[in-house]
Amino acid sequence: MDEKRKLKFTFYSFAFLLIFGMIGYKFLLDVDYIDAFYMTVITISTVGFGEIGTTSNASEMFSVLMIFLGVGIVGYAFSTVVAMFVEGKVGDLWKGSKMDRKISALNDHYIICGSGELAEVIINKFIHEEMAFVVITDNREDLDDYSHHDILVVEGHSTEESVLEHAGIDRAKGLLATLDSEVDNIVTVLTARNMNKDIYIIANSVSKSGNDKLLKVGADKTLSAVEISGKRMASLMIKPNIMSFLDVVTRIGDVELDLEEVMVYPGSYLENKNLIEAEIPGKTGLVVLAIKKKEDGKMLFNPPVDYTFQIGDVLIVLGRGEQVDKLRHLGDEIKDDIKTEGK
- CA pair distance 117, 90, nearest whole angstrom: 30
> Which tens digits make up the pLDDT trace of 252-310?
555 566 788 999 989 889 999 999 999 999 999 999 999 999 888 899 999 999 999 99
Shared domain for 36 and 155, answered yes or no, is no
d(CA 81, CA 75): 10
Q: For residue 1, what pLDDT band results from cuts at 50, 70 and 90?
A: very low
Contacts for 31 with CB less than 8 Å, ≥ 6 apart: 25, 39, 52, 53
Specify whether 106 is located in the same domain as 165: yes
Q: 150-174, pLDDT tens digit by residue?
A: 889 998 999 999 999 999 999 999 9
pLDDT digits (tens, 9 = 90+) for 135-149: 999 888 887 788 778
Task: Determine the length of the chain.
Answer: 343
Using DSSP, state whether 302 is helix, strand or coil: coil
Average confidence (pLDDT) over 96-115: 88
SS3 265: coil
Do residues 260 and 315 lie in contact, with contact meaning Cβ atoms separated by under 8 Å? no
Lowest mean pLDDT, pick from 119-128, 248-257, 311-320: 248-257
Q: How far apart are CA 243 and CA 232, in angstroms?
A: 8
For the beta carbon of residue 290, count every other beta carbon within 10 angstroms.
Answer: 15
Residue span of the structural domain in which 290 resides: 256-342
224, 270: one domain: no
Q: Which residue has the higher pLDDT, 15 or 219?
A: 219
Residue 209 lies in a domain: yes
What is the CATH classification number for the domain harbouring 180?
Answer: 3.40.50.720
pTM value is 0.61
What would the pLDDT profile of 208-261 be if each residue is shown by its tens digit? 788 889 999 999 999 887 788 888 889 889 988 877 777 766 655 555 667 889
Q: Is residue 41 part of a domain?
A: yes
In CATH, what number is assigned to the domain containing residue 331? 3.30.70.1450
- The pLDDT mean for the chain works out to 84
- Beta carbons of 76 and 84 less than 8 angstroms apart: no
pLDDT, tens digit, for every residue of 61-84?
A: 888 888 888 888 877 777 776 666
- Checking if the pLDDT of 14 tops 90, the result is no
Per-residue pLDDT, 95: 56
Q: Are residues 212 and 300 in the same domain?
A: no
Q: 27 versus 331: which is more confidently predicted?
A: 27
Residues 49 and 105 both lie in one domain: no
Residue 235 lies in a domain: no
d(CA 85, CA 88): 5
